[in-house]
Structure 1
């Protein structure tokens, strides 16, 4: 007995020590930004309080200045698009963008900057600190910036009077136990950002309706959004109550705050219809739900708030309760290579609304990224499956339970749709198993040769991988493992090893054989 107590104490001490070793940096942003909708520019000033929670002193901080990815055709983004036949059509017609006017200061002192040695990385800059930032200390970094927005052909820009303001402000790259992650913007391959608290003041012409990360602080504006939004949600018709600006000329300034988020995005259009309701979670927590869409005849977006509510409830039950106060979906322009793009508390949906179950699935997938991107902040660029694949697994369950459909598989025969849900899911995954997917799940995003390859290995194959685990241990146990993962790593940066440890802790079994499959090229058919 004493032997077991001794071993337990050793294990407990080791686990506690391992947990104590984890650290992550923390940022606090205050950003003032003005939109010039005629010139398609942003003029801004930001203040960042950067706290160094690492065990190392820092002499510099790498910054992402992502708008420069759009500056010319030598950038990593342009090169990636040009090398992918399925994405080249994005470049049929476009305008460039850039960020300029940077003048970094650290604690009020002018800071030297240095370009990245890779000539394709003009959207990354090194800010040298006048004195070393010691462990546990904070520093204040400020800069002006001016962004020329591109036409919308990747994630950020403008189209048809709508502004998609994403990856728009200078932001420090992640510094973690593996060092700096100062990668460039890519069209195929997403992000990895430090958790931060945000206060963002957005000035723009008064006629615009804005959806943004976080909570709107202007009481009158928020009240109007909620009032007309609730009426539009209740009526669900093509004669909506429209937004009327309090000041029909001039500008307004809207303030948003958000805590514990890895990014901040905002969207603006004069033609948005606002819909609003709330969703109550099992704990009793009430979450605001907004939708911003266009007044088209017979639009399926009349149901968009309900789709977001259902997704928020289901994911909360399956994985862990939604931790933010608001969830929002925005209708965007058609994008020829994406169904949508997620940001904390808000997502842009860029897929034509062909049928209800398809729009519902896309909204659910993008809302689901609040778990697998925002609240569980894995490195999406290196481990895209840890974001997209885990989310797709739950999206497929949502579609199966609600519609007996699957948005990836297309039209499903009537005899398959007639099956009970569990058998339906088995049939879907058997079909996925037969799809040739050469690349390994663990392939970093930048190394996929095409977007098709990226999609198959980052979305479909890891969903199948999780389903194989579900088939072995049961759906309920998989959900319990996810809950343990979520509770252990919410608002942190979990690696695949951290996910594996959380799953093993929950399931009480060694998962080496499953996690080894992440490196397997080709089909899982032969795997037993």
Structure 2
């Protein structure tokens, strides 16, 4: 997710290097690793009159743990939108009050009254046997499915249920805006079970997710007039070819070609599939402007690049596929090759300006007023989450720095190399600084970023922050400073090789801070206590 930070202008970027001295050391304990596996088959249908989605879920759950399981926790995250007593609603109240105190004149994006959302119609069965459920005592968006028979290590069960989702009007991350649909965190999803136990976390606005890897086959039925962008590869060939043909024309920059159907008033079903992914989101609208291109990563690997724009959206969106391609190209070179067959971005409605929200193979961008450099930076950040969250599936709720912060370091590197710019400091960078070589430019930028006042440590869990600004500065900016410090200590070449090894060893897995540190120390050939102690340091790093 991208947070637009409002930072006090800096009137100059001083000269200096980040120094490390006199910091306490911390240690990490290693435990045996295992990873559960899930395979989804979902049929979903959109009701545009009721703004709802009806569905049937079948998920094969494979127990790779050494433990016998008697239940499986499921997330029912649409229930977060149901009433004022959910963890989401309570968090938004706290964030709103703290935002008012900090910025009494700033309009609150959550101040309007929103239509509620929910999920119901559930009837869980396990291997065709009716399964009892137990509600969580505090959160209605979490439920425990009790297994009729214990699930032994190495065995699997198939869990099925119908479900109905009433979408809220679009806020936080999911819902509808007019006749456009942003269907995210929408289906019943098993919580992660790892070597630290279960992680049945409620949905929050500030604080992201932790999900199991597996495969998806999703059939989506919508009125024939709708264009859909979704996680995965579109298997409905006629529809795919139509998107490509329209997208090629729209990418030429001439008159916009709109999507039209020969069967208005009818329904159509599109199928999407994907492997090694941990979430599925989809977006539907009658008026999306489709753009299409391809990106050749190697002589043998070419991927599809799609974007879906608003008919009267940001004018810079005409460059969206170019920005997506450049982001994938840079991250593939720096970290490891993009492994999926398609990459996509969706332009969201104008009433949201949080920046964006990422999902595997597709991201939602809500930056209606962004200029070209800003739009490129936002798209790059969100596309970059395919690496830091999508491929390297960390526990984002507990360790936001491992996806948001590391990703921000690479976003800043991209902006420095391409524009001599930085999305946080924006127009406050003097002309003479922008004329410096890229390494000197970044040194000046990071000195100023380090001077931004911070309170909490980088290792602070997302839910422990009581306002968006502190969360953004610490988990995004302060972590980027930490990563730049790591680069300075190891050298960029060594850091790049370490990150490439980290990517190779941990792709499609759940790396922890301990695992990240071990990869860095192996590459450095030495203990990095002093640097990694910065993760627990309150206030500025230096």
TM-score range, shorter chain: over 0.9
Shift of 1:298: 7.3
Contact 1:335 1:351 in 2 (8 A): no
RMSD: 1.3
Which residue in 2 is equivalent to 1:360?
376
C-alpha distance in 2, partners of 1:418/1:522? Answer: 31
C-alpha distance in 2, partners of 1:83/1:294? Answer: 32
Which residue in 2 is equivalent to 1:431?
448
Which residue in 1 is equivalent to 2:126?
106
What's the secondary structure of 1:199's corresponding residue?
A: strand
What's the secondary structure of 1:39's corresponding residue?
A: coil
Contact 2:314 2:370 in 1 (8 A): no
Which residue in 2 is equivalent to 1:14?
none
Deviation digits for residues 395-414 of structure 1, max 9, x if unmatched? 00000111111111121211
C-alpha distance in 2, partners of 1:521/1:362? Answer: 28
Which residue in 2 is equivalent to 1:127?
145
Which residue in 1 is equivalent to 2:112?
92
What's the secondary structure of 1:84's corresponding residue?
A: helix
Q: Cα gap change, 1:147/1:382 in structure 2, threshold over 3 Å: closer, same or farther?
A: same
- Report how many aligned residue pairs link the two structures: 503
Q: Cα gap change, 1:342/1:295 in structure 2, threshold over 3 Å: closer, same or farther?
A: same
State TM-score, norm by structure 2. 0.91
Structure 2 counterparts to residues 497-508 of structure 1, below 5 A: 497-508=514-525
C-alpha distance in 2, partners of 1:135/1:335? Answer: 48
Shift of 1:161: 2.1
What's the secondary structure of 2:268's corresponding residue?
A: strand
Which residue in 1 is equivalent to 2:356?
340
Deviation digits for residues 23-57 of structure 1, max 9, x if unmatched? 10000100000000111011000101100000000
Tell which deviates more after alignment, 474-483 or 201-210. Answer: 474-483
| 1:377 aligned onto 2:393 | yes
What's the secondary structure of 2:426's corresponding residue?
A: coil
C-alpha distance in 2, partners of 1:253/1:205? Answer: 9
Which residue in 2 is equivalent to 1:7?
none
Contact 2:43 2:55 in 1 (8 A): yes
Match of 2:48 among 18, 24, 37: 37
Match of 2:270 among 249, 254, 264: 254
Shift of 1:335: 5.5
Structure 2 counterparts to residues 187-206 of structure 1, below 5 A: 187-206=205-224
Relative CO higher for 1 or 2, CA cutoff 8 Å, sep ≥ 6? 2
Match of 2:189 among 162, 171, 178: 171
**Residue segments in structure 1 that go unaligned for 5+ positions in a row:** 1-17
What's the secondary structure of 1:129's corresponding residue?
A: strand
Shift of 1:92: 1.3
C-alpha distance in 1, partners of 2:129/2:353? Answer: 44
| 1:269 aligned onto 2:289 | no
Which residue in 2 is equivalent to 1:8?
none
Which residue in 1 is equivalent to 2:3?
none
**Residue segments in structure 2 that go unaligned for 5+ positions in a row:** 1-29, 101-107
Deviation digits for residues 98-125 of structure 1, max 9, x if unmatched? 000000000111100001122xx11000
Shift of 1:296: 2.8
What's the secondary structure of 1:92's corresponding residue?
A: coil
Tell which deviates more after alignment, 335-344 or 73-82. Answer: 335-344
What's the secondary structure of 1:432's corresponding residue?
A: helix
Q: Cα gap change, 1:453/1:76 in structure 2, threshold over 3 Å: closer, same or farther?
A: same
Which residue in 2 is equivalent to 1:312?
328
Contact 2:313 2:350 in 1 (8 A): no
C-alpha distance in 2, partners of 1:61/1:298? Answer: 44
Which residue in 1 is equivalent to 2:486?
469
C-alpha distance in 1, partners of 2:527/2:322? Answer: 40
Contact 2:180 2:284 in 1 (8 A): yes
Structure 2 counterparts to residues 433-512 of structure 1, below 5 A: 433-512=450-529
Contact 1:105 1:142 in 2 (8 A): yes
C-alpha distance in 2, partners of 1:297/1:195? Answer: 34
Tell which deviates more after alignment, 152-161 or 169-178. Answer: 152-161
What's the secondary structure of 1:281's corresponding residue?
A: strand
